[in-house]
A and B are shown apart, each in its own frame.
Chain A
């Protein structure tokens, strides 16, 4: 696999990511625009009972029609087509949907999309540089910190948030900091090692 985002990742010259991006463009419900200022209330009633929320996701502004009841998780996956963020329990218990809002880990399934307006949202897609893995992801690969991998995007984002607050955590701090993320495969020891490795890769 190429580590250079500008270099084509396959013989056809289309990387997996850009291919998925092309597929998504036709059905994408979200519009990419410049910095938007419309609030949910200003936009209320503008689109058939939908609200239009302005979300800052991975540094890009999205204006997305949502219902008030839509969670950030539903909007990220179904409207912004950022399916790296997973739904696990859907009730704030497992951590598979962890994203950063203003550098702080939160459960996207327990956050209304309208409540995420004004925050800087980072998903697992946002920690990559093109096709190049982020340092936390790289640490997970090096330490074999997963089996099935379903919880991994949430684990990675929890680590990203933990290391922003505490660049050099002890094992006890790692265990506490990662306690909001379940791994059904039980890869916890490897995950904790990956956090240490990620801290080293980040220079903590």
Chain B
């Protein structure tokens, strides 16, 4: 049984902000990650503040500027099956469809998906690790098959979200409500590395919540794709994933945006590979340069060196598919 907590279901975003700012309060969107964390004692909650009464945070609609606004409580199923997203932001539709299982996608929300906690088995298990306020990372000398090869320092989690890399590559931003009003930050500004904050994966503070995600308009000639590798054929987190958004001008790559999943504590921008692609054709030589650039600076741990090869393979396969 879950540990005890009180339950609030605010009727407005302002109330939710107020209630979730209290000590010991946690936010409940779909609840699929939260309940697992509470059950396993990863963290505790005195009060669960449910957002389920906030219908205004559900739904997908066009913005005046030609982009798309996705309410934070929109389910992953709705994101995966929305016709506009499938057509114009296909990397996001594919990422949402590849997350978890049908039941969890029916319940889990896009806002919750980008705010989910890491799956590191030391963090989730009975280990008082750095991320839980302890003084050591058990993954460094432990079973680190599923840990990061980029961006680790002190703590070596990977960010578990599939949708976050897709959103980042598509140039999305996150709208955040707090007591002082609302603000919008880019996906890249939203996530933090352990070197910046070893206890949190994003910039949200108590009393702040994601209300919506905003996608910019899509330029003509843009193709996007999300490709994911996992241990089994379904219902698993990414060993590695790649969201690729490429804008073509004829045969030439006008711009490229690449974000990796499952290999870093946040969606990992493969900036060197983007640079290798931009201005070139998607020919074999250019793709090979991008593949090499994509793993520059990788620092595998004892058991996760295979992820370097996975990233190389993902990059090559994905870019070749975009060419065709």
Which A residues lie at the B interface, using CB under 8 A? 39-41, 51, 67-71, 74, 90-93, 95, 98, 104-107, 110-112, 114-115, 158, 161-162, 175-180
Contact = CB atoms under 8 A, between A and B. Distances in A.
B312 interface: no
A180 B235 contact: yes
Contacts of B186: none
Q: Which 3 A-B pairs have the closest CB atoms?
A: A180-B101, A68-B7, A179-B234
Given A68-B48, A110-B31, A110-B36, A105 B103 contact: yes
A105 B106 contact: yes
Contacts of A91: 36, 39-40
Interface string B45-69: 0001010100000000000000000
Given A107-B107, A115-B50, A115-B52, A179 B102 contact: yes
B32 interface: yes
Contacts of A95: 101, 103
B1 A115 contact: no
Contacts of B106: 104-106
Nearest to A69: B2
A175 B32 CA distance: 22
Contact of B101 (A111, A114, A179): A179
Nearest to B2: A69
A160 B77 CA distance: 17
A115 B31 contact: yes
Contacts of B40: 91
Nearest to B107: A106
A54 to B, nearest CB: 14
B5 interface: yes
Contacts of B128: none
Contacts of A67: 4
Q: What's the dominant secondary structure at chain A's contact region?
A: mixed
Nearest to A177: B102
Contacts of A176: 102, 234
B9 interface: yes
B313 interface: no
A104 B32 CA distance: 15
B7 A51 contact: yes
Contact of A180 (B2, B36, B52, B103): B103
Contacts of B39: 90-91
A158 B102 contact: yes
B3 interface: yes
A56 to B, nearest CB: 16
B9 A41 contact: yes
Contacts of A179: 101-102, 233-235
A158 B102 CA distance: 9
A69 B5 contact: yes
A95 B106 CA distance: 13
Given A112-B7, A112-B31, A112-B35, A69 B103 contact: no
B35 A71 contact: yes
Contacts of A71: 2, 35
A95 B36 CA distance: 15
A90 B36 CA distance: 9
Nearest to A68: B7
Nearest to A105: B103
Contacts of A98: 103
23 contacts: A41-B8, A67-B4, A68-B7, A68-B48, A69-B1, A69-B5, A91-B39, A92-B36, A92-B103, A104-B77, A105-B106, A106-B103, A107-B103, A110-B36, A112-B31, A112-B35, A112-B48, A112-B50, A158-B102, A176-B234, A178-B102, A180-B101, A180-B102
Contacts of B6: 68
